[in-house]
Structure 1
Amino acid sequence: MTRTARLTVLLVTLLLLGGVAAVSVQQAADRAHRRDQAQADGPMVAAGAVTLRPAARTLVFRSTAWGPHRDELATVPADHPEAERTTAGVSCERFYAAAGTGICLRAKPGAVQDSYRAVVMDAGLHDLKSFPLAGIPSRSRVSPSGHLAAWTVFTSGDNYGSLNFSTRTSIVDVRDWHLEENLETFTVLKDGQPYHAQDINVWGVTFADDTTFYATVASGGQTWLVRGDLGARTLTTLHGNVECPSLSPDGTRIAYKHRVAGATNDVPWLLYVLDLRTGTETATAETRSVDDQAVWADDHTLVYALPGDYGTDLWTVPSDGTGKPARLLSAALAPAYLG
C-alpha cells in the first residue's frame, strides 16, 4: 500500500471514529436532557440535614421522585408541602416516626432475593438497633411517646387483596429492646371468649399509649378491629370489617379500610372512619380504593397514598365525610407529621 493510500485510510478511519463519538455524545446529552426534564417536571429535591425533632411542624416521608435521592426519607414544612424537599440519604421501604423515634423497614439487595430489616433510629436518623424481618415490609408505626415501635410484614403473598397471604406483626420497646415478635401469640377475645383458629393474622398496629394499641385481626374470611393490651397480651375484638386502623390524635376515632361487599377488584376498599364511642361508621368522600394505613394530619384530616406518576402520591380528605379529596404531595409515601 502506497503512502497516499495509507493516509487516505487513516483519514477515513478518523472521520468514522469522530462521527461515532459525536453520535454517542449527542445520545448521552439527549438522555441527560430527558432525565433532567423528568426531574424538572417532578418535585424539587436537595440533600440536607433531617431531624425527627424539628423546630417547626414538618412532614417526613419516603420520596419516590426520580433522581439520585429516590426512595430516601425527605421532609417539607407541614404548611408548605410544595416546598423543596430535604432528603437525608436514608432509604426505607416503610417508615414512621414520633417523639424523636423512627422505624425504618429497610431492604438489603441479595444475589438471589432481597432481605429486610426493621431498624429503630434516633432523632438524627442514626441506627440504634435492627431486627431481621420474616417477609416483605407492609406497615410501621411508633407510639406517641416514642417508646414503642411496630411493624407488619408479609410472610407469604404480597398484598391484602390476594386470597392467600400471611402476615407477622411485631412490637419492640425501645427502652429495653423487649420484642414481642409475633402478635399472633396473644390471646384473641371474641364476644368475651378466647378465640382459637389456625388461620389468625394480625396487622396494622396503631398506638393509643405505651400499653394500649389497635390492630386488625383476620380469621375465617373475616376481619375485626381489635384493642390490644401489651401487659395482658390480649387482642379484644371491637368491630367487624376493619383493616389497617389509624387512631385519631384525640383517641376517639379510627380511620380504616372498609371492604365493600360485592366490590370489583378495582375498588375492594373504601376509606371509612369509626367513632369508638358510638360505633358509628362514616364513609369519607374518597371513592377510589385505598390500600394504605391512613395518617391523621390533625383531628379532622386524613392523609393516604394512591398510585401516581412516580409510584404513589399522597392525598387528603376530611374525616367527617364532607369535602372532596385533594392531592397533598406527588411522588411520596409513608408520611408522618412531626413537631
Structure 2
Amino acid sequence: MSRRSRLLILLTAVLVLGGVALAATLHAAGRAAEKDRARPGDPRVSSGEVALDAPGRSVFRNMAWGPHRDEIASVPASDPSGPRTSSGVRCLRFHTAGGTGICLQAVHGGLRDGYRAVVLDARLHELRHYDLAGIPTRARVSPGGRTVAWTVFVSGDSYAGTNFSTRTSVLDLRTWTLDRNLEDYRFFLDGRLHKAVDTNVWGVTFADDTHFYATVATGGRTHLVRGDRTARTLRSVHTNVECPSLSPDGTRIAYKKRVEGAPEDAPWRLYVLDLRTQRETPTAERRSIDDQAVWRDGRTLVYALPGDYGSDLWTVPADGSGSPRLTMAAALAPAFTG
C-alpha cells in the first residue's frame, strides 16, 4: 500500500471518528436540554423572591423539570398545587424555621467537586458556609431559627442496610460554634454510659435551640435519643426509631420504624410515638418511607415518596386515621413558614 493510500485511510478514519464524537456530543446536549425544558403538565414555575419569614407559605425543593429544578421554591400553604415562585438557590436538602434556612448543596468546579452546608437568612442570602464530609441526607433548623443541624453519609448512601456511616453536626448561629460530630457527645443507653465504635447519629429534630431528638444506632439497633447541647449528652428514650420529627406541641415524634416481614430495601413504616405514654401509633401510610417527615400542623404529616419527577409530597393524619393523599407533585424537603 502506497504512502498516499495510507494517508487517505487515516484521514477517513479521523473524519469518521470525529463525526461519531460530534454526534454523541450533540445527542448528550440534546438530552440535557430536554431535561432543562418544562413539559406539558409540569407544575408552573417562575422566578421571583422567596422569603423564609413570609406567613402561610410552603417552601421546598422544586423537582419539576425545567430551568428551576432543584431550586428552593414557594407556594401558598393553602394552595400546594398552585404556581411556584422559584428563588434561584439550589439545594439537595433544605429546611427553614424562624426566618433561618439551611441549604445542603453540591459544589462543582475548582480542584474537586464536593458538598457544603450554607446558612441562609430570611431572603436566602448566605450568612456562612461549611464544607461537608459526605453526601447530604438530613437538615433541620430549631423553631427559633438560632440553631441548625445537618447529617451526611460519610460512607454508603442508604439507611436500608447496615454498611453506612453518618456524621451529624449542630451549629449555634449566635456564637457560630460548630459541634462537628454528635458522636463526640456522651451517649447514655438505658441510663448507662455507652461507648462503641459502631455508633452512628443522624436525623436531628429540635425541641428548642438547646434540646433536640435524634437517632442513634449501635449494636444493630436504633434508638430515639434526647440531646442536650449544653451538657453534650444523648440519652435513650425509645427503641426502633429512625429520622424522628417532633410535633409542634413537643409531645409526639413521627418516625420511620422497621417492621417485621418488610423487604430489606424497603423496611420502614411511618409511625407516631407519644412521648408521655410511649404508645406507638401506625399511620395509614403502608408504603415504605425513607424520609424525615414534617408536621404541617398538629394533625398532619408531610413526607416524600418516589414519583415521576424523582419525588412527590404526600400527607397522612398523625393519629392513624384517614388515608394518604398526594399533596404536591415534583417536590422534596418541605417546610412551612409563619
Provide runs of 4+ in structure 1 moved above 4 Å.
30-38, 110-113
Question: Quick one: distance in 1 between partners of 2:232 and 2:114?
Answer: 29
Question: Quick one: distance in 2 between partners of 1:36 and 1:120?
Answer: 27
Structural RMSD (CA): 1.9
Alignment-mate amino acid for residue 49 of structure 1? E
Alignment-mate amino acid for residue 171 of structure 2? V
Aligned residues of 2:36 and 2:65 also touching (Cα < 8 A): no
Please state whether the residue corresponding to 2:127 is helix, strand or coil.
strand
Alignment-mate amino acid for residue 253 of structure 1? R
Residues 32/179 of structure 1: CA separation in 2 closer, same or farther (3 Å cut): closer
Question: Quick one: distance in 2 between partners of 1:288 and 1:268?
Answer: 9
* 2:145 equivalent to 1:149: no
Question: Quick one: distance in 2 between partners of 1:199 and 1:34?
Answer: 44
- Report the equivalent of 1:81: 80
Deviation at 1:37, TM superposition (A): 8.6
- Report the equivalent of 1:323: 322
**TM-superposition CA deviations, 1:247-281 (whole Å, max 9, x none):** 00000000000011232135300000000000000
Aligned residues of 1:139 and 1:152 also touching (Cα < 8 A): yes
* 2:208 equivalent to 1:219: no
Aligned residues of 2:202 and 2:243 also touching (Cα < 8 A): yes
* 2:309 equivalent to 1:294: no
Alignment-mate amino acid for residue 117 of structure 2? A
Larger CA Rg, structure 1 vs 2? 1
Unpaired stretches in structure 1, ≥5 consecutive residues: 1-26
- Report the equivalent of 1:40: 40
Q: How does 1:18-57 map to 2 (within 5 A)?
A: 39-54=39-54, 56-57=55-56
**TM-superposition CA deviations, 1:278-333 (whole Å, max 9, x none):** 00000000000000000000000000000000010000000000000000100000
Please state whether the residue corresponding to 1:292 is helix, strand or coil.
coil
* 2:117 equivalent to 1:118: yes
- Report the equivalent of 1:98: 97
Alignment-mate amino acid for residue 217 of structure 1? V
Aligned residues: 310
Aligned residues of 1:215 and 1:226 also touching (Cα < 8 A): yes
Aligned residues of 1:142 and 1:150 also touching (Cα < 8 A): yes
Deviation at 1:191, TM superposition (A): 1.5
Question: Quick one: distance in 2 between partners of 1:37 and 1:86?
Answer: 17
- Report the equivalent of 1:239: 238
Deviation at 1:40, TM superposition (A): 2.2
Deviation at 1:211, TM superposition (A): 1.5
Question: Quick one: distance in 2 between partners of 1:65 and 1:213?
Answer: 33
Deviation at 1:114, TM superposition (A): 3.0
Aligned residues of 2:205 and 2:245 also touching (Cα < 8 A): yes
Please state whether the residue corresponding to 1:40 is helix, strand or coil.
coil
**TM-superposition CA deviations, 1:123-162 (whole Å, max 9, x none):** 0100000111000000000000000000000000011013
Deviation at 1:190, TM superposition (A): 1.1
Question: Quick one: distance in 2 between partners of 1:77 and 1:196?
Answer: 47
Deviation at 1:220, TM superposition (A): 1.0
Deviation at 1:112, TM superposition (A): 8.5
- Report the equivalent of 2:14: none
Alignment-mate amino acid for residue 254 of structure 1? I
Residues 203/31 of structure 1: CA separation in 2 closer, same or farther (3 Å cut): closer
- TM-score, scaled relative to structure 1: 0.88
Aligned residues of 2:313 and 2:331 also touching (Cα < 8 A): yes
Please state whether the residue corresponding to 2:231 is helix, strand or coil.
coil
Question: Quick one: distance in 1 between partners of 2:167 and 2:33?
Answer: 45
- TM-score, scaled relative to structure 2: 0.88
- Report the equivalent of 2:167: 168
Deviation at 1:50, TM superposition (A): 0.6
Aligned residues of 1:154 and 1:165 also touching (Cα < 8 A): yes
Alignment-mate amino acid for residue 132 of structure 1? D
Aligned residues of 2:304 and 2:311 also touching (Cα < 8 A): yes
Question: Quick one: distance in 1 between partners of 2:126 and 2:200?
Answer: 29
Aligned residues of 1:266 and 1:289 also touching (Cα < 8 A): no
Q: Identity percentage over the alignment?
A: 63
Alignment-mate amino acid for residue 157 of structure 1? G
- Report the equivalent of 1:307: 306
- Report the equivalent of 1:283: 282
Aligned residues of 2:245 and 2:293 also touching (Cα < 8 A): yes
Question: Quick one: distance in 1 between partners of 2:262 and 2:94?
Answer: 30
Aligned residues of 2:161 and 2:265 also touching (Cα < 8 A): no
Aligned residues of 1:140 and 1:151 also touching (Cα < 8 A): yes
Question: Quick one: distance in 2 between partners of 1:294 and 1:100?
Answer: 20
**TM-superposition CA deviations, 1:181-217 (whole Å, max 9, x none):** 1000000011211001011000000000112100000
Question: Quick one: distance in 1 between partners of 2:228 and 2:119?
Answer: 22
